[in-house]
Amino acid sequence: MPQAKTVFFTSPKQVEIKTTPLPALKADEVLVESICSAISAGSEMLIYRGQFPNLEDAHDKVSSQLKYPLTYGYATVGRVVETGDRVDPSLRNKLVFAFQAHTSHFILRHESLILIPDSISPENACLLPNMETAVNLIQDGAPILGERVLVLGQGIVGLLTASLLAEFPLEKLAALDFHELRRKASSDIEGVHAFDPGVSELRKALLAYAQGKFDLAFELSGSPSALNDAIELTAFSGRIVVGSWYGQKHASIDLGGSFHRSRIQLLSSQVSTIAPALAARWDKSRRFDVTWKALRRVRPEKWITHRFPLEEAGRAYHLLDENPQETIQVIFEYPK
């Protein structure tokens, strides 16, 4: 049985690679050798910086258990190299996805693995959680024919959300991001007009582009202060879908001005559940089917800007912490 090399977050801005032996394989388990895993620049940077909250929320069991030292990550693609006695041996050599922390090898019950459809590369597949998040955001926002839509934040989730929105017959679709690299990626999506939120008279430019305020806004920047921008730019009775996880970050939100009379809806959106309005007809399996098809269409591996071996995890997180403007998506690769 091989040993596993795993990333551990040991304290704020400190990571270590620990090598640990793997236990014997149980009858209903499989051994997976990792090929690549994607860093979530939003949630993982909260872990890296020590900004994660201590929650007691039945809908957020993962966050309620966070404390150093810990492993984290939830986007690993690998190949099955060994199967337990009660597992179909045809699973060997199959490409699989797992909601697994960054590690070179891991053991899971076979029911916990997701088979990767043909024609989807490992790099695209490791962005499955991000695309599922984008699908969930779209379902929660429910864009309508002819609407004017704004996406705040063009990290990987923002880009994926903008890509799906661009498939709708919207009247206008705008995106905001401070980083030029991400604005360029956003502008390359047909139908998306990217703006720099750091320029003067941004509000004037956006209102001119949209010919008014926006019907629907997605706050995906990771910055709670961006909610003020979303509120200011959303029309009467519009919707704002908040997909960012802020952790311990706080900002003063202006709900005492025009918001009070605006009838704007603030919607929290998180991918771990299905919206109650859809739950009678939708489940995770159906949403995954939609997500795989979206991955085939969008092929987001084009937004992978950096690839690191696991041994250089410290460099990867330092880059995301100190120079996020140079990155879009960072992944770990696991050579044989």
Note whether 39 and 10 are within 8 A (CB). Answer: no
By CB neighbour count within 10 A (0-12 exposed, 13-18 middle, 19+ buried), where does 31 fall?
buried
pLDDT of residue 65: 63
pLDDT in tens, 245-296: 777 777 788 888 788 889 999 999 999 899 999 999 999 999 999 999 999 9
pLDDT of residue 67: 87
pLDDT < 50: residue spans in the chain? 55-64
Q: What is the dihedral of CA 97, 114, 41, 196, to 10 degrees?
A: 110
Domains of the chain listed by start with CATH number:
3-116+299-333 (3.90.180.10), 132-268 (3.40.50.720)
* Residues 115, 95: Cα–Cα separation, whole Å: 6
